[in-house]
C-alpha cells in the first residue's frame, strides 16, 4: 500500500544519508568530500522522487477511502430506512429480551414512543396468559438459533386492545467465545387474518349446520367439497364421495337425466348460474326431488374453476303439493257436480214421492200398475244413489252416522266376494280382535270396500291373492305430518292389497281423480276411487296407496276409531197422520210443491204453497197465527231460502222450519240459518217427509242442530 511504500522510502533515504555521513567523517580529502556531496544530493533527489510517488499513491487511497465511506453511509442509511419504514414491526433486543432498537411500525403497533420503548423488556407487551409461551420461545431461540411463524397474543401499552401477532426471530452476532450478541424480532399483526380465519371457521360450521346439501365439483364433475347437510340428504360420507364423479347422485333409470345434466352445465358455463328441480338418488337408492342451485366459481384470473351446488330436498313438499292439487281438483269438480245434483234431485223428488203416493191413493190398483210404479221408484232411487256417489267426494253430502262394526263390514264383504269372485283369486282376511268400531255411514263404508276389492279383482285377470286386513293404529305428529288434514289420535286401518298388475308411477297421482279410469270403455265409470276418497274424507280419515308394477297394489284406509254409542234411527212402519195443521211449502219447483202438498193433504194436513222466498213471506204475514210449520227449499230465485228463513225468524222467533235441499248438509245449513227444526235431503220419500213433519210438530220449539 502507499503508506508502506512511503515508510520504506524514508527509511532508505535515512540509511543512505547515514552511510554518506559516515564516509565523510572517515576521510580528509577535499576532492572526495565534493564527490560525497554530489552523491548525497543524488540520493536526496531519489528519495524525494520516491516520496512524491508515495504521496500521490496516498492521496489516491484517501480519495478511494472517502468514496467507500460515502457508500457505507448510504448503505447504512438505506438499511436504517428499511428498518424504520418496514410495514412490519422490527425489534432488536439483547439476549435477555431488553429492547435495544425498534422501528416505526413497532412503535405504532405497541403504542409507545420510540424513546420510551428502548430499554423496556419485550415481555411486558406479551399478553399475561401467553408469557409462559414467550419464555419457551426464548429458550428455543437459544437452542435452535431461530423461530418462525409462531402466534403470540399481545396488547398495546394501555392494555385494553389485545391482538394476535405472528412472530419470527433469530439469534445473531457473538464475541470471540461464541456468546450471542442480540435477538432480532419480526412482529406482524394478524388480526385481520385471524378474523378472516374465524369467519371462515364460522361459515364452515354454518355449512355443516345447514340442512341443505352443499357441494363443490370441478369442471370434470368430481366432488371437491361435501358438507354435513349433503351427508344427511344423500347418505354418502365425505370420505366416500370426495374425488368421485357427482353423477353418482343421478338415478340411472331416468332417461331425462343425462341430457338435462348436459344442458345445465352448458347454461352454467354460459350464464354463470342455473336453478331448477332434479331427480336424484341416495346411497340407499331412495329417489328424491331436489331444488338445485348451481353457481360457476372462477379463479383470480377470471377463468372457470369449479361449480358450487346447493341442493334442497323438497320430496316431502312435492308430496304435499300433489295431495293439495288432488284436493283442489276434487273441490273444483265437486262444485260443478253440486250444481248438477241440485237440479237432478229436484227432478227425482216428485218421481219418488208420486211412485209411493199413488198406491196409497188408489188401493185397487192392479198388480201390473203397482209393479210399474215400484220400478219407477226403484230407478228414481238408483238415480238418487248415483248423485250421492258423485257428491261423496265433496263435502256436500253426508250419510246418517251410526256405530259401525268394521269387522262386521269386512265379514260381509268377504262372504259376498267369495260367492261372486273367480275361483282363481285367493281371498284372505286378517282382522285384529280389538279392531273396534267407527262412527259413520255403514252403506258408504260398505261401498268403499266394495270399490277397492272390485278394483283388486280387475287387477288380477290371471289370478292372484286378495288380502283384507284391519288393525288399530295410534298416529302421532311424525305419522300425520305429510298427510293434509290428518289429526293425531287412534285410527282403524283397513288394508286391501292384491298381487295384480300394479299401477304405473306416471298415473298413480291421478287415480283418485273423478272420471279417470284405466279400464276399457264400458267397464269403468272412473268414479270408484274418487268416491272412496270422498267418503273417507267425510268420515275424517284419509287413504294411502302404494304400488309396484307386476308386484301388486296396496290401499290403506284410515278411519278415526270411536268408542261412542249412538242408537240407529229406524223409520216408522206406519205413516203418521196430521191433525189439520197448516203447513207452508216453499219451493221454486212446481212439481215438488204440488206433490208435497198432495202428500200432506192426503195425510190430514192443510197446505199453502209459495214459489219463492218473497211470496212465502207475504203468505206468512197473512196467516202468521195459523201456520204451524214451514218447509223451505234452500236454493231459489228472487230470495234464497237462507234469507227467507232469517226473515221469518225475525217475524216470529218461535217459527218452526224444516229446510229442504238436494245439495247442502244439515250441519252446513245451521251455519247460514242459525237454528232450524228439521232437514229433508232431496229426493225424499213419503215416509221421510211425514216422519220429519210429525217429529217437528210434536217436539215444539226445540231447534235442530
Domain that holds residue 51: 2-81
Residues with Cβ within 8 Å of residue 427, at least 6 apart in sequence: 414, 417, 418, 421, 465, 466, 467, 468
Sign of CA dihedral 625, 629, 631, 635: positive
Q: Distance between CA 327 and CA 244 in Å, rounded?
A: 43
Cα-based distances in Å from 498 to 406, 427, 451, 501, 532:
20, 10, 13, 9, 17
- State the total domains in the chain: 5
Q: Torsions phi, psi of 280, nearest 5?
A: -130, 170
Task: Choose the final residue of a domain: 195, 221, 245.
Answer: 195
pLDDT at position 36 is 65
Asked if residue 325 is part of any domain, the answer here is no
- In three-state form (DSSP H/G/I as H, E/B as E, the rest C), the secondary structure along 167-218 is EEEEEECCCCCCCCCEEEEEEEECHHHHHHHHHHHHHHHHHHHCCCEEEEEE
| Interatomic CA distance for residues 69 and 421, integer angstroms | 121
**Vertex 282 angle, CA 277 and 285, to 5°:** 110
Closest CA to 155 of 135, 129, 118: 129
The pLDDT value recorded for residue 492 is 92
Q: Return d(Cα 63, Cα 52) in angstroms, integer.
A: 17
- Beta-strand runs (E) in 377-424: 402-405
Listed in order, strand segments (DSSP E) in 28-175 are 89-93, 99-102, 146-155, 162-172
Q: Are 308 and 297 in contact (CB under 8 A)?
A: yes
Angle at CA of residue 261, ends 237 and 231, nearest 5°: 15
Helix ranges (DSSP H) in 612-704? 613-622, 641-651, 666-673, 686-699
Residues 6+ apart with CB under 8 A from 245: 221, 222, 223
Q: Which residue positions in the chain have pLDDT lower than 50?
A: 252-253, 255-258, 393, 395-398, 480-482, 521-526, 565-573, 666-668, 701-705
Looking at the structure, do residues 62 and 130 belong to the same domain, yes or no?
no
Measure the CA dihedral 479/482/487/493, to 10°: -60
* Alpha-carbon gap, residue 427 to 155, rounded angstroms: 86
Three-state DSSP class for residue 80: helix
How deeply is 262 buried, as exposed, middle or buried, from its count of CB atoms within 10 A (0-12, 13-18, 19+)?
Answer: exposed
Alpha-carbon distances, residue 438 vs 390, 414, 486, 490, 494 (angstroms): 23, 19, 16, 11, 12
Residue 246 lies in a domain: yes
Residue 271 lies in a domain: yes
The pLDDT score that the predictor gives to residue 504 is 83
If asked whether residues 604 and 695 sit together in one domain, one would say yes
Residue 340 domain flag: no
* Co-location of 415 and 532 in the same domain: yes
Q: State the CATH number of the domain containing residue 251.
A: 3.30.450.20
Q: Cα 641 to chain center, whole Å?
A: 47
Give dist(CA 650, CA 221) in Å, integer.
77
184 with 217, same domain: the answer is no
CA distance 548 to 568: 42
Helix axes of 528-538 and 315-361: crossing angle, nearest 10 degrees: 90
The CATH number of residue 622's host domain is 3.40.50.2300
- Answer left, alpha or beta for residue 601, where phi above 0 means left and psi between -120 and 50 means alpha: alpha
596 and 555, same structural domain?
no
**What's the pLDDT score for residue 627?**
93
Q: Give the C-alpha separation, 642 to 616, whole Å.
A: 13
How far apart are the C-alpha atoms of 572 and 692, rounded to whole Å?
Answer: 11
Phi-psi group of 568: left, alpha or beta (phi > 0 → left; psi -120 to 50 → alpha; rest → beta): beta
Tell me how far CA of residue 128 lies from CA of 159, 162, 225, 396, 661, in angstroms. Answer: 10, 11, 40, 80, 89
What CA–CA distance (Å, rounded) separates 123 from 316? 62
* pLDDT of the residue at 592: 84
Is residue 388 domain-resident?
A: no
Render 296-315 in DSSP notation, one character per residue: EEE-TTS-EEEEEEEEEE-H
Q: Tell me, yes or no, whether 69 lies in a domain.
A: yes
**CA torsion angle for 360, 365, 370, 373 (degrees, to 10)?**
-70
Is residue 551, in this structure, part of any structural domain at all?
yes
Q: What is the Cα Rg of the chain in Å?
A: 55
Alpha carbons 36 and 669: distance in angstroms, whole number: 162
Rounded Cα distance, 532 and 527, in Å: 8
Are the C-beta atoms of residues 534 and 441 closer than 8 Å to each other? no
Report the relative pairing of strands 552-560 and 489-498 from DSSP bridges.
antiparallel
Task: Judge if 186 and 227 occupy the same domain.
Answer: no
Same domain membership, residue 534 and residue 446: yes
Q: What backbone phi and psi angles, to 5 degrees, belong to 46? A: -60, -45
Separation CA 598–CA 257 (nearest Å) = 71
Q: How far is CA 628 from CA 50, 678, 685, 694, in A?
A: 162, 14, 22, 11
CA angle in degrees (0–180, nearest 5) for 162-167-168: 165
Q: Give the per-residue SS3 of 470-502.
A: EEEEEECHHHHCCCCCCCCEEEEEEEEEECCCC
Could you read off the pLDDT of 50-78 as tens digits, one per residue? 777 777 777 887 888 877 787 777 676 67
Alpha-carbon span 468 to 456, nearest angstrom: 11
Contact, 525 vs 515, CB < 8 A? Answer: yes
In terms of domains, do 550 and 420 share one?
yes
Residues recorded for the chain: 705
182-189: strand order across its sheet: 99-102, 89-93, 182-189, 162-172, 146-155
Beta 542-548 vs 489-498: how paired, if at all? Answer: unpaired
**Beta-sheet pairing, 146-155 with 162-172:** antiparallel
Q: Are residues 128 and 59 in the same domain?
A: no
Q: Domain holding 449: CATH number?
A: 3.30.565.10
| pLDDT computed for residue 436 by the predictor | 83
The per-residue pLDDT for range 336-351, each reduced to its tens digit, is 666 676 667 777 777 7
Which of 165, 195, 225 terminates a domain? The answer is 195
Last residue of a domain, one of 26, 55, 81: 81
Is residue 571 domain-resident? no
Whether residues 73 and 125 share a domain: the answer is no
> Is residue 667 located within the same domain as residue 682?
yes
User: 135 and 276 share a domain?
Assistant: no
Amino acid at each position: 500500500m502507499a503508506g508502506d511504500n512511503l515508510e520504506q522510502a524514508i527509511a532508505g533515504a535515512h540509511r543512505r544519508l547515514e552511510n554518506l555521513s559516515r564516509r565523510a567523517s572517515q576521510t580528509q580529502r577535499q576532492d572526495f568530500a565534493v564527490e560525497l556531496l554530489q552523491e548525497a544530493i543524488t540520493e536526496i533527489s531519489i528519495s524525494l522522487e520516491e516520496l512524491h510517488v508515495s504521496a500521490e499513491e496516498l492521496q489516491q487511497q484517501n480519495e478511494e477511502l472517502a468514496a467507500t465511506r460515502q457508500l457505507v453511509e448510504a448503505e447504512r442509511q438505506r438499511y436504517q430506512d428499511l428498518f424504520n419504514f418496514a410495514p412490519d414491526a422490527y425489534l432488536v433486543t439483547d439476549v435477555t429480551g431488553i429492547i435495544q432498537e425498534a422501528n416505526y411500525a413497532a412503535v405504532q403497533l405497541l403504542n409507545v414512543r420510540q424513546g420510551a420503548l428502548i430499554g423496556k423488556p419485550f415481555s411486558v407487551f406479551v399478553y399475561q396468559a401467553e408469557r409462559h409461551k414467550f419464555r419457551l420461545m426464548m429458550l428455543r431461540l437459544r437452542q435452535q438459533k431461530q423461530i418462525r411463524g409462531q402466534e403470540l397474543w399481545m396488547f398495546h401499552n394501555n392494555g385494553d386492545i389485545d391482538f394476535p401477532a405472528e412472530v419470527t426471530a433469530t439469534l445473531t452476532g457473538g464475541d470471540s467465545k461464541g456468546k450471542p450478541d442480540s435477538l432480532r424480532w419480526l412482529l406482524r399483526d394478524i388480526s385481520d387474518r385471524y378474523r378472516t380465519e374465524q369467519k371462515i371457521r364460522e361459515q364452515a360450521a354454518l355449512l355443516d349446520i345447514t340442512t341443505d346439501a352443499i357441494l363443490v365439483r370441478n369442471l370434470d364433475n368430481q366432488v371437491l367439497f361435501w358438507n354435513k347437510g349433503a351427508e344427511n340428504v344423500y347418505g354418502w360420507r365425505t370420505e366416500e364421495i370426495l374425488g368421485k364423479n357427482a353423477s353418482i347422485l343421478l338415478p340411472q333409470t331416468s332417461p331425462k337425466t343425462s341430457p338435462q345434466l348436459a344442458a345445465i352445465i352448458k347454461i352454467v358455463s354460459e350464464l354463470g348460474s342455473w336453478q331448477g328441480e332434479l331427480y336424484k338418488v341416495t346411497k340407499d337408492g331412495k329417489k328424491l326431488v331436489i331444488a338445485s342451485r348451481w353457481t360457476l366459481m372462477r379463479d383470480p384470473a377470471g377463468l372457470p374453476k369449479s361449480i358450487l351446488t346447493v341442493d334442497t330436498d323438497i320430496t316431502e313438499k312435492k308430496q304435499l303439493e300433489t295431495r293439495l292439487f288432488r284436493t283442489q281438483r276434487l273441490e273444483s269438480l265437486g262444485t260443478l257436480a253440486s250444481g248438477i245434483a241440485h237440479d237432478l234431485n229436484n227432478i227425482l223428488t216428485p218421481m219418488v214421492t208420486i211412485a209411493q203416493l199413488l198406491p196409497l191413493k188408489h188401493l185397487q190398483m192392479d198388480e201390473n200398475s203397482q209393479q210399474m210404479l215400484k220400478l219407477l221408484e226403484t230407478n228414481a232411487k238408483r238415480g238418487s244413489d248415483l248423485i250421492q256417489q258423485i257428491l261423496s267426494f265433496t263435502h256436500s253430502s253426508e250419510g246418517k252416522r251410526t256405530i259401525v262394526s268394521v269387522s262386521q263390514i269386512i265379514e260381509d264383504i268377504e262372504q259376498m266376494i267369495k260367492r261372486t269372485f273367480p275361483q282363481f283369486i285367493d281371498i284372505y282376511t286378517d282382522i285384529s280382535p280389538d279392531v273396534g268400531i267407527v262412527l259413520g255411514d255403514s252403506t258408504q263404508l260398505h261401498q268403499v270396500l266394495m270399490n277397492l276389492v272390485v278394483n283388486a279383482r280387475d287387477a288380477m285377470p290371471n289370478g292372484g291373492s286378495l288380502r283384507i286386513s284391519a288393525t288399530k293404529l295410534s298416529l302421532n305428529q311424525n305419522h300425520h305430518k305429510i298427510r293434509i288434514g290428518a289429526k293425531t289420535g287412534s285410527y282403524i286401518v283397513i288394508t286391501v292389497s292384491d298381487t295384480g298388475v300394479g299401477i304405473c308411477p306416471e298415473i298413480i297421482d291421478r287415480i283418485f281423480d273423478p272420471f279417470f279410469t284405466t279400464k276399457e270403455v264400458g267397464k269403468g265409470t272412473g268414479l270408484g276411487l274418487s268416491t272412496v276418497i270422498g267418503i273417507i274424507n267425510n268420515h275424517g280419515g284419509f287413504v294411502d296407496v302404494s304400488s309396484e308394477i307386476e308386484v301388486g297394489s296396496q290401499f290403506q284406509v284410515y278411519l278415526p276409531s270411536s268408542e261412542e254409542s249412538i242408537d240407529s234411527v229406524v223409520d216408522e212402519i206406519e205413516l203418521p197422520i196430521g191433525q189439520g195443521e197448516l203447513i207452508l211449502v216453499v219451493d221454486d219447483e212446481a212439481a215438488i210443491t204440488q206433490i208435497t202438498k198432495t202428500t200432506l193433504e192426503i195425510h190430514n194436513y192443510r197446505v199453502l204453497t209459495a214459489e219463492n222466498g218473497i211470496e212465502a213471506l207475504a203468505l206468512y204475514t197473512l196467516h202468521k197465527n195459523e201456520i204451524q210449520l214451514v218447509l223451505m227449499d234452500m236454493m231459489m230465485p228472487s230470495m234464497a231460502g237462507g234469507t227467507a228463513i232469517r226473515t221469518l225468524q225475525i217475524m216470529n222467533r218461535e217459527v218452526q222450519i224444516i229446510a229442504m235441499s238436494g245439495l247442502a248438509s244439515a250441519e252446513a245449513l245451521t251455519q247460514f240459518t242459525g237454528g232450524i227444526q228439521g232437514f229433508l235431503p232431496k229426493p225424499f220419500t213419503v215416509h221421510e217427509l211425514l216422519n220429519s213433519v210429525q217429529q217437528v210438530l210434536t217436539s215444539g220449539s226445540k231447534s235442530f242442530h
